Amino acid sequence: MKQLVILFLLTTSLCFSQQEKFKALDSFFKNVSDNNKMMGTLVISKNGQVIYDKHVGYANMVDNKKYPITKESKFRIASITKTYTATMVYQLVDEGKLKLTDRLSNFFPQIPNADNITIANMLNHSSGLFEITKAKDFNTWRIKGTTREEMLERIQKYPGIFKPGEKSAYSNSNFLLLGYIIEEIDKIPYAEALKKRIVNALNLKNTYYGGKKNAENNECASFYYKDGKLIESEETHRSVPGGAGGIVATPYDLVTFYEALFTGKLISKKSLETMLKVKHIPYASGLFNGEDAYGHGGGIDGFISEATYKPEQKITIVILTNALNYSISDIVENAFLASQNQNLLPVKTAVKTIALTAAKIAPYAGVYEGHMGKEKTPYTFNFVAEGKVLKGGPNANMLFPLEAVKNNEFVHNEFGIHLKFDLEKQTLIFTQAGKSHTLTKKH
């Protein structure tokens, strides 16, 4: 009896302590919301049960009326769509209708290098296909819309940027084509394949391929912050993102999908193991392989999203935002820390940036290499000097602008990245979500 009492007291104490961490998480969200840093929703699930959810901000603002985000609010999940597309591809593999070694030329021979590009290459971004969103006229047809034939014509105009399988570089073109291949095999539109293969299988009530925003159907508009005010974002036409980024969902449906995927309810054990394998860091199939997690992020118009699954703790975290001016990595990390009854990262205040001359920016250009995580995974970060702007990122084909806060320190607020260079030692300290790694310049 005494042991039972001790166990009861210990369990009660732990539960109370975790509740305090979730209260801290509540305070964190109130802070970022009150300071015009975020609108959106977060859901944390453990072992298939939601243990925390939070909604801040507004789904829509019409005629000076503000409509709060609720449990029913739906968001464009952008590139998290790629995980759904990859899952459907593996379902076709399980059914014997497709092989990972099949060539792109079996479906679209007009695409450059199609004879040498496999389904596996497209799944892990090692195809070398040009990133179609970098086309000069992208912002024109992004708003107006496109047909599948027009998209194929655009993709086939650009030669490959490297040999298939040689390395990986993120490209939406891969998953646009995979979406079309699903349509070719199933003989139905992508939206119907999604419904048949995932939505109906999991009895999801709020997941579908998106159309024009419909506020009456609880669909959020997206916004960006300008001078402390919210400005509604221009809407990408539904015909554009396809299997690379077109799905609309609630975070609760997304949690259900992720947990079903990682517990083997959607594809075979063999396919799941193959899906999670990484040939070129950090790309698995329709997923990113982190230090101790799998997941995917997304961004379209003003929607920024992140879905993460931690297999060791069986924790799923989904954050969907329709306005963001804060590090989404820090938000996800704080959600995880709270779920583990650990202290949260402090709220970041605005950092004053400085302007550097082109001459001072130039020495930071180059490629830095190192290892991250428990598995000491190889990692590369690329930097390019463009006049007075330093751009960087793990993908040499998709670099993002960095802001200087000191002569040798740069930040990217949205990703929560802090970079501290040592030009003499030729090293770089990379910090994100409270974790730091040292990289060395490649010579």
- Averaged pLDDT for residues 291-314: 95
In terms of Cβ atoms closer than 10 Å to its own Cβ (0-12, 13-18, 19+), residue 275 is buried
Q: Which residues does 277 contact at the CB level (< 8 Å), separation at least 6?
A: 284, 285
How high is the pLDDT of residue 1?
A: 54
Query: In this prediction, what percent of the chain has a pLDDT beyond 70?
Result: 93
Which token pair is 391? 């751009």
CATH entry, 358-441, from 3.40.630.10, 2.40.128.520, 3.40.50.300, 3.40.50.150 = 2.40.128.520
Give me the long-range contacts of 387-393 (CB less than 8 A, separation at least 24).
Answer: 387/358, 387/361, 388/355, 388/356, 388/357, 388/358, 388/361, 389/361, 390/361, 390/364, 390/365, 392/419
How high is the pLDDT of residue 442?
A: 83
Q: Where in the chain is the domain with CATH 2.40.128.520?
A: 358-441
How high is the pLDDT of residue 424?
A: 83
Q: Where in the chain is the domain with CATH 3.40.710.10?
A: 76-339
**278-305 burial string, b = 16+ CB within 10 Å, else e?**
bebbbbbbbbbbeeebbbbbbbbbbbbb
Over the stretch 127-179, which tens digit does the pLDDT of each residue have?
999 999 999 999 899 999 999 999 999 999 999 999 999 999 999 999 999 99
How high is the pLDDT of residue 13?
A: 44
CA distance 5 to 241: 57
Which of 69-83, 129-143, 351-365 reaches the highest mean pLDDT? 69-83
Over the stretch 380-426, which tens digit does the pLDDT of each residue have?
888 988 888 898 887 776 787 888 888 888 888 767 788 989 888 88
Which token pair is 24? 């801290």
Over the stretch 185-221, which tens digit does the pLDDT of each residue have?
999 999 999 999 999 999 999 999 999 999 999 999 9
Tell me the DSSP string of 388-400: TEEEEESSTTS-E
Residue 8 pLDDT more than 70? no
Over the stretch 275-294, which tens digit does the pLDDT of each residue have?
999 988 889 999 999 878 99
**372-399 burial string, b = 16+ CB within 10 Å, else e?**
beeeeeebbbbbbbeeeebbbbbbbebb
How high is the pLDDT of residue 101?
A: 98
CA distance 273 to 317: 21
CA distance 258 to 266: 10
Instruction: State which fold the 76-339 domain adopts.
Output: Beta-lactamase (3.40.710)
CA 287 to chain centre: 9
How high is the pLDDT of residue 374?
A: 58
Residue 12 pLDDT more than 50? no
Which token pair is 233? 């974002």
How high is the pLDDT of residue 7?
A: 46
Q: Which residues does 386 contact at the CB level (< 8 Å), separation at least 6?
A: none
How high is the pLDDT of residue 18?
A: 65
Reported as a pLDDT band with limits 50, 70 and 90, residue 223 is very high
